[in-house]
Amino acid sequence: MFRVLKKDPLSRLRSALGRDKVLTSPVERKLYSYDATPIPIERAVPSAVVFPESEEDVRRLVELCYEEKIPMFPRGAGSGLTGGAVPTDSRGVAVSFEKMTGIEIDLDNATATVQPGVVTYELQRRVEKLGLFYPPDPSSLKYSTVGGNIAENAGGPRCLKYGVTRDYVLGLRIVIKEGRLLRTGNPVIKDVAGYDLTKLIVGSEGTLGLITSATLKLIPKPPARATVLALFDDLRTVGRAVTRIMTSGIFPSALEFMDGSAVEVVESYSPAGLPKVAALLLIEVDGTPSSVREQAEAISALLREMNVGVSVAPDERSAQKLWGARKNLGPALGNLRSGKINEDIVVPRSHLPEVLPRLKEIARKYDLLMVVFGHIGDGNLHVNLLYDRRNREEEERAERAVDEVFELTLSHSGSITGEHGVGLTKKKYLRWQFGDTGYEILRGVKRLFDPENLFNPGKVVDL
Ligand SMILES: Cc1cc2nc3c(=O)[nH]c(=O)nc-3n(C[C@H](O)[C@H](O)[C@H](O)COP(=O)(O)OP(=O)(O)OC[C@H]3O[C@@H](n4cnc5c(N)ncnc54)[C@H](O)[C@@H]3O)c2cc1C
């Protein structure tokens, strides 16, 4: 009598997908156990890194992982800032979508159907050549992927006028429990059939299943744009100026804020010629060439009435220099101290005049360097607390300051995150925001899609 030896799970994976799609060398496993989260987090080195090349590969992978109870940690480019793509269980596999990069454009319906590993900038370049526009523009767009952007519901400066990633996702294909394929939505603008599963999956941070394809809405590309620079002597006026701009009848395509510390930091990292100020706003308007000129003039006039220093970038090169300063802030801050906690709170715009100075009071109370910048037009502020990682006492002060930042945010009807997601680092605060009933509903949704807790376990909600 022969005894049939059961294959180990990784051998089964190799047989199901092909050897070259399942890597187990220590170097690869270690490399894929990181993302861009700047603070120390709980992480595990996965047992393998899997590179599916098709939806069928993903389906087989999930089927097998569900049979063998192997956790799966989906991953785009690993640029996430809250530990979303970081494995938390060494029995699990990291699933990298970097080989799924197909793009199909439907010009007649102005949609693009893309695989998750497509880099967002690459998609934008392709559609812009056809006169179309895919607006979501996280600062990481040159390397982050559409799959990662959808899983995080990423946003950026242009989302003020054009909306966030979720507003462009018309339909999804996602492999959920047991390897079942779920199709949601349709390539149409109107669709009110049943619960909106597409919107639920966008922003679910890989905890409900593995996205294999997305159909995205495209819009006509605006032909011209202009940038206005506004310089402030005090923080309170910034909040009032934002409200004035947003109620003036002009809808800027971007409205970005940098406080005085942010300006100093970026000037010493890569000088753009910005002066010493309490704060500045970068305001972009878009449309036809003549409407862009009119909008820039109107915004300049209303700011001058408030005694704010204003100038309009004379050409695209000067405008890009200003936007370059804003985009350099992330790397510039990384150079400043060994520890950085980067939160991305959101409050209603009208609360900004009160919230901005209160943030600075928290920094003073805990004797910490705080740099604030962000998408102020939609009330989304990046609050960076900088500290020395070797100094445990200072690190603890930073952690206490973060608690206060979130208390302040929630007391102003805000949200703990506008872009970066919950991942591992904000789980505690999600409960604060949702309360017991809301949190129970979130857990129920997770159980429905993933009863065995195998999709990105340990992230967003605990079962
Ligand atoms: C310098 C810098 C600037 C940034 N600026 C912004 C910004 O302006 N706006 C913003 O929103 N974010 C920003 N981010 C954060 C980050 O780039 C975004 O969260 C981005 O959407 C992550 O994309 P990614 O491809 O790197 O995904 P990853 O970091 O690899 O993964 C993110 C999440 O998506 C999940 N995931 C990935 N692919 C799939 C899939 N196919 N199916 C299911 N789940 C999946 C992962 O499990 C994880 O939970 C920035 C990051 C950096 C480093």
Mean pLDDT of the region 299-325:
95
Residues 261 and 314 in one domain: yes
Q: Probe ligand 1: pick from 53, 72, 75, 164, max atoms within 8 Å of CB?
A: 75
pLDDT tier, 416 (very low <50, low <70, confident <90, very high otherwise):
very high
Name which of 354, 251, 151 is nearest 381 in CA terms: 354
Residue nearest to atom 45 of ligand 1 (CA): 206
Position 430 in a domain = no
Are residues 107 and 216 located together in one domain of the fold?
yes
- Is 368 inside a domain boundary? yes
110-130 exposure pattern, b = at least 16 Cβ within 10 A, e = fewer = bbbbbbbbbbbebbbebbeee
Mean pLDDT score, 339-364: 93
Q: What order of strands is seen across the sheet that includes strand 339-346?
A: 309-312, 224-232, 279-287, 254-259, 369-375, 380-387, 339-346
Q: CB of 226 within 8 A of CB of 118?
A: no
Structural domain ending residue among the three candidates 330, 359, 374: 330
List the residue whose alpha carbon is closest to atom 13 of ligand 1.
138
Q: Does residue 178 lie in a domain region?
A: yes
Model pLDDT, residue 147 = 98
Same domain membership, residue 345 and residue 318: no
Q: Among 139, 174, 266, which residue has the most ligand 1 atoms within 8 Å of its CB, making it the best to mutate? A: 139
Please state the φ and ψ torsions of residue 256, each to the nearest 5 degrees.
-110, 150
Average pLDDT over residues 12-16: 95
Comparing C-alpha atoms, which of 10, 84, 21 is closest to residue 58?
A: 21
Last residue of a domain, one of 366, 388, 411: 411
| In a domain? residue 35 | yes
41 and 135 co-located in one domain: no
CA distance linking residue 375 with residue 95, whole number of Å: 32
pLDDT, residue 334, reads 80
- Find the residues whose C-beta lies inside 6 A of ligand 1: 35-36, 74-81, 84-85, 97, 116, 138-140, 144-145, 147-149, 151-152, 154-156, 205-206, 210-211, 330, 419-420, 456
The CA radius of gyration of the chain, in Å to the nearest whole number, is 23
Residues 310 and 208 placed together within one structural domain of the fold: no
User: What are the tens digits of pLDDT across the range 132-175?
Assistant: 999 999 989 999 999 999 999 999 999 999 999 999 999 999 99
C-alpha neighbours within 13 Å on the C-beta side of residue 456: 27
91/124 same-domain check: no
CATH number, domain of 355, equals: 3.30.70.2740
**% of the chain exceeding 70 in pLDDT:** 99
How long is the chain? 463
Averaged pLDDT, 192-216: 97
| Same domain membership, residue 201 and residue 240 | no
Task: CATH number of the domain at 33, please.
Answer: 3.30.43.10
Residue 463 lies in a domain: no
Say whether both 201 and 168 belong to one domain: yes
182 and 169 belong to one structural domain:
yes
Are both 125 and 71 inside the same structural domain? no
Residue 417 belongs to a domain = no
Domain count, the chain: 4
Report yes or no on 432 lying in a domain: no
Question: Which CATH number do you get for residue 202?
Answer: 3.30.465.10
Q: What is the CATH number of the domain that holds 235?
A: 3.30.70.2190
The last residue of a domain, from among 220, 252, 284: 220
What is the CA(43)–ligand 1 centre distance, in A?
17
For residue 460, tell me if it sits in a domain: no
Q: Which domain holds residue 376?
A: 333-411
